[in-house]
Structure formats: C-alpha cells, structure tokens
Chain A
C-alpha cells in the first residue's frame, strides 16, 4: 500500500504521522516568499537612493540579509513557516516531528545554494521528485522535512438521528468504520448510503434500503454518546 506519510514513533511509543509536502505546494510557497522579498527590496530603493553610495551599500546589505536569513527568521521564530508556507498550510519540522532550531534551519537554508544549481532550483526540484519524502538537498543534510500543518479540524457534526444501542459489543475497527460512515454521510447521496449499508448485513440486521443506512447512523450516534 503506497502512501506519502512518514511514521515517527516517540519514546513513549506513540506513533505520529507526518505528511510530507511535495513539489507543487512548496514551489508555490517559494513563489509567494520570493514576491514578498522582491516587494520589500523594491520598497527599499527610494529610501536608500537618497543616501548616495552609502544607500547603495545599505540596500545591498538588506538584500543579503533578506536573501539568506528571511527563511531562517520565520522558521525559528514563527513556528517553522514563512508567510508563503503559511499561506499554503506548510511548515518545516525536524524529521522526528520536533520544531526546527537554529542549526537545522541554517543548514537547510545555506544549502539552498546547492539546490539552486544549475538554475532556478533545478537540483532541488529533481531531488524533491526522486526522494521518498520530497526532500531537497538542504532538507536531507539538515534532517528536516516540510510537512502539511495540521489544521484545527472542526468536529464533524453528525446528523441528528435517534441513537440505537448495539446488540453486541463492537470492536474498534467497526466503531471507527461506523463513525467514518456517519461523518461522511452528509456528503453522500442516499443511494450510495444504502449501498454502503448493505455491505454490513450483520450490523443492519435485516433492515434494508433507507432503514439500513438509518440504523448505521443510529449506531454511530450511540457511539459518540448520544442517548435519545
């Protein structure tokens, strides 16, 4: 079974799933950051041009700082996400899921020089395409990973159906499947709901068609603690 997840086991034997982000969202995030940096540098031109050659030097300094430390600043102080990454819902973490520190952030951003070769991140694009977890050279060296930020998920509202107590204890897989069904039911057509319910005759207990789907929903309501 192929998936894009990275599984991390903590010392407490809790398994975490990191979702590495691929080429497309990362390129878009980089583009947004690039535009922001260019806009900042353009805004600096009128400010520094009044200062003559010293202004030119200041502008170059600003360019240097923005080019090298813009990502570092945001990765260390802003939860691993530059504005572009934030817009795309991405963040940088260590490959064990912990937040990146100075060392990791510096090395992954210094290695941009290598990823940029030969032109416009060609090297980085190829390594990202070929790597199992979509890492570019800087990520491989620094041991970091760009992952999708877990969005705060609103609890799915189950439909208001009368709760039905199961006649026998349900194992965990069954409970999970029932809840998944109930959560998704709102976006399914009634015909599809019935079709799915007919797959589990042992739970629908002889009720077919709409009654079968309604029974599954009732069981799910009971599972989440409704008792009416």
Chain B
C-alpha cells in the first residue's frame, strides 16, 4: 500500500463527507468501473432471464436472485475502486481474471447467507476482501472499524435502498405520463395491468428496477469503501504519514541540492570578482526608469478585472414624495385616475382634520396646564399678598368700615349730627368714614386687629398725604371719647370741611 499514489485527498472529514467522496470518486472513474461491472452482471442477468422469464415465465425470480447475488458483484466493483484509489486502474481483462480469487478469499458464503441482510455490509466488505482477516480477528477488526462509522453505514444502506425505489417509480411514472391516451387500447388501465401482470408488462415493470439497482450499486460500494478509508485514516493517521513522507522526501532532495549549491558557490567565489561600478550604475539607472514608468505600469495592472470594474446595478426603490413627478411617463385610465384623485383628496381631508384636531388638543392642553398652575398658586399661597390687599377687614378698631354702611354724603351727615348737638356721633362718623375710604379707595393694608394708633402708623407709611388730617381727627376723637373733654364745635366744623376736601375729591376722581 503506497499512500503517495493515493488519488483522493486525505484530510479529517466527517462520515457523510466520506460517502459523498466515494460517490464522486466512483463517477469520476465511471468508465472502467461500469465496464467491469456490466461485464459481470449482464451475462448473469441474461442467463437468469432465459431460465426464469422465458422458460418458467416468472420474472420476479430474476429480480430476487439478482438482488441476492449483489455481494458477488460488489466484490468486483470494490476490486476496481480500491485499485483506482491507489492510482492503478485495472483493465477489464485484469479485473475479470482476478474475480475467481476474489470470490474464493472473501468469505462469500457468509456474505450470501447470514450476512446478506446486514445493514453495514458496505464496510464489512473491505475488511473481508482487502484485509483477508478471518475468525475472531476478523470480528474484532470489524467491530473496531464499525464503532464510529456503523450508524453512517446503516443510513447509507437504507438511503440507497430508497433511492433505487424512488428512481424506479419515477421512471415508470414518467413513461406512463408520456404515453398518449389515444394509443392505449380501450379499457386498459394501470390498475388492471398491475393486478393481472402479463409477462410483457412485468418485463416493462421490472426492467427499470433492475437498471436502477445495477446502476446505483457501484456507487454504494464506493461510498462504503470511502467510509472504510476514512475510518482507517482516523485510526492510523494516514494523512500525517503522508505529510511526513513528503517532508522526508523534500529534506533529502534539499540536502542533495545543498551540496551541489556549495560546490557551485565555491567555484563562483574562486572565479568571479564582485560586480564592477559600471554594472552598479546600470542597475541604478534601470531602477530609475522603472520608477518613472511606474504610472503606466500601475494603469496596466489596474485594467485587470481583478482590480475593479464598472458595474451597472438596477434595482427598484420607493419614490420619495418630493421627487418631481413625471406624469407623462405613466398614464392611468381616466376612471382610475379619478378614483385615485378622489382617494387622494379624501386622504388629504382626513389629514387636515387630524391636524386641526391635534392643534385644538394642544391648545386645550396648554390651557389646562395654565389653570393647574393658577390653582396651585392660589392653593399654596404664592399670591396671598395681593389677594389680602383686595379684601380689607369689615371692622377696624371697633368701627364698621364697610362702604355700604356709610351714608352717601358723609360730611353733610356729620354736619347734621353736629347741628343736632351730637359731637360724639359726628366725630365717630368722620373717623369711620376716613378709615373706610383709606382702606377701600387708597388701598391702605389695614390688618384685622389694628388699633387706632396702628391705623395712623400704616396711613403714614402708605398714604402720607392723608396722615396729618387723620392725626388731627384722631386727636379730637381721643380727647372726646377717652378724655371726655369738650371739643369746640368750630373745630369739628373745620374737620367736616377738611374731610370733604380730602376724601370727596378722591371719590370723585
């Protein structure tokens, strides 16, 4: 076994790949393989057909026997494939001459009887035929080889079984479909033919099956053989051995070459001097011309299609709306165009309505936010000062200062009271009116519990123009109310006149 003559690449591959490679290999060596194959099978088929079909009239026996004899034929196929893998394709005569030896030395009896139904027969065959191991050693070897690839070999067998059937029925179906109905005799149906099975029909029926089976079997054998090779490659590192052998070869070649080189170098050193200056200058100028021509060279290189070329690419894409619409290029029928325009305006209207609704909604939202802000402000007292200023207390220093409790013409009313001898009533009315006008008209911020003096202080701060009058009035009132002194009527009369001057004008203004 010479690994270097191997005609398939050795590399670690999975078991499916090995089967694929087997099929590929068998088809690449189809001519010698099928020549040997049909040289054996067709005569056997002819003899069987003569005996069973023509003499006994039972063609199904031919099928059965041909199927049963497959291991016999497989041995020849394996002989061709295994030699072809190692680069020596046997001629037809060599193969046929080797056949008797193959049948004698490869446990044919077992293969035709109890091992006929083995699903892993495709990987048992190489062990029996190529390794020639018998008995216990053979069994151990087969179990060792089958440990990793057994399931793959099983699927291989099952798949090939189905493949035969599929191709057979496919072929029949094709033929049946292509027969014109007119050519069929009246009353003949496929079902009738299948059940009655006249001899000519059986021949037509089973010949394609035989053909498929015979055509596919060498591929099956080759697949099994490659599976076997894969397992042995894994177990014995054939790929590593091949690498090592090549390394060793190149090493010896190199050492031979090295000695030759040393001899030549020695000769050169003795005979030839170093390059002259003229040669050096020549090489320099050559270099310069190369550099100056580099632009041209680059252009030439870039014209190679490997460095890019122009390509025209056409594809469909959505037109964006702002692209100018080419109305001439695409004309719709009028009815459709009307429909589309109607649809367009309808959708436009819907869009506008939605926009309007959105705008209203956003304004409402803004208003709601403002209202919420105001509510929060009033709730948490951010506006308390201005709110209090607008609401002066109803009663101040024991006087009712609500404007509606006062008479319309306050100065005249005070005058009338004075004339009737009620100086106390007149002064209190004047003071009450002053406070009321100050609080309501002049917005002086009196607090609820202010005394008369506090009121005077606040008036001095916030309405200083009225303060002297109020001080005078308050002095009179305090002398009359608390000190029980008699106030001259002329003084009260003057206060009445001044009140009118101070507060009536304001009210009018």
Identify the A interface with B (CB < 8 A).
Answer: 1-5, 19-25, 27-28, 88-89, 117-123, 125-126, 129-130, 132, 134, 148, 173-174, 176-177, 180-181, 184, 187-188, 192, 196, 199-202
Contacts and interface: CB of A to CB of B under 8 A. Distances in A.
Interface string B191-234: 00000000000000000000000000001000100000000001
A196 B27 contact: no
A119 B170 contact: yes
Given A23-B23, A188-B236, A126 B167 contact: yes
B159 A23 contact: yes
A95 B171 CA distance: 31
B155 interface: yes
Interface stretch (B112-120, B241-249, B357-365): B241-249
Contact of A2 (B24, B166, B236, B243): B24
Interface in B109-159: 155-156, 159
B243 A173 contact: yes
B13 to A, nearest CB: 8
B20 A22 contact: yes
A148 B25 contact: no
Interface of B: 7-9, 11, 13-14, 16-17, 19-21, 23-25, 27-28, 155-156, 159, 162-163, 166-167, 169-171, 173-174, 177, 219, 223, 234-237, 239-241, 243-248, 250-251
Given A2-B24, A22-B23, A125-B167, A180 B234 contact: no
B20 A200 contact: no
Given A3-B21, A129-B219, A199-B241, A192 B248 contact: no
Contact of A173 (B28, B236, B247): B247
B219 to A, nearest CB: 7
B19 A24 contact: yes
Contact of A177 (B11, B25, B173, B244): B244
B170 A118 contact: yes
Given A2-B9, A28-B159, A148 B14 contact: yes
17 contacts: A1-B7, A3-B8, A23-B20, A23-B23, A88-B16, A119-B170, A119-B173, A119-B174, A121-B166, A122-B166, A148-B16, A173-B250, A180-B239, A181-B240, A200-B247, A200-B248, A201-B248
B166 A125 contact: yes
Contacts of A25: 16
A25 B166 CA distance: 17
B167 A200 contact: no
A118 B166 CA distance: 10
Given A19-B13, A22-B16, 17 more contacts: A1-B7, A3-B8, A21-B16, A22-B24, A88-B16, A89-B14, A117-B174, A119-B170, A119-B174, A148-B14, A173-B250, A174-B247, A181-B240, A187-B237, A196-B244, A199-B244, A199-B245
A130 B27 contact: yes
A202 B243 contact: no
Contacts of B173: 118-119
Given A118-B173, A180-B240, A28 B28 contact: no
A21 B167 contact: no
A131 to B, nearest CB: 10
Contacts of B240: 177, 180-181, 184, 196
B247 A129 contact: no
Contacts of B13: 19
Contacts of B239: 180
B6 to A, nearest CB: 8
Top 8 A-B pairs, shortest CB-CB distance: A122-B170, A22-B20, A177-B243, A3-B9, A118-B174, A199-B244, A119-B170, A25-B16
A78 B236 CA distance: 39
Contact of A202 (B21, B28, B159, B248): B248
A19 B28 contact: no
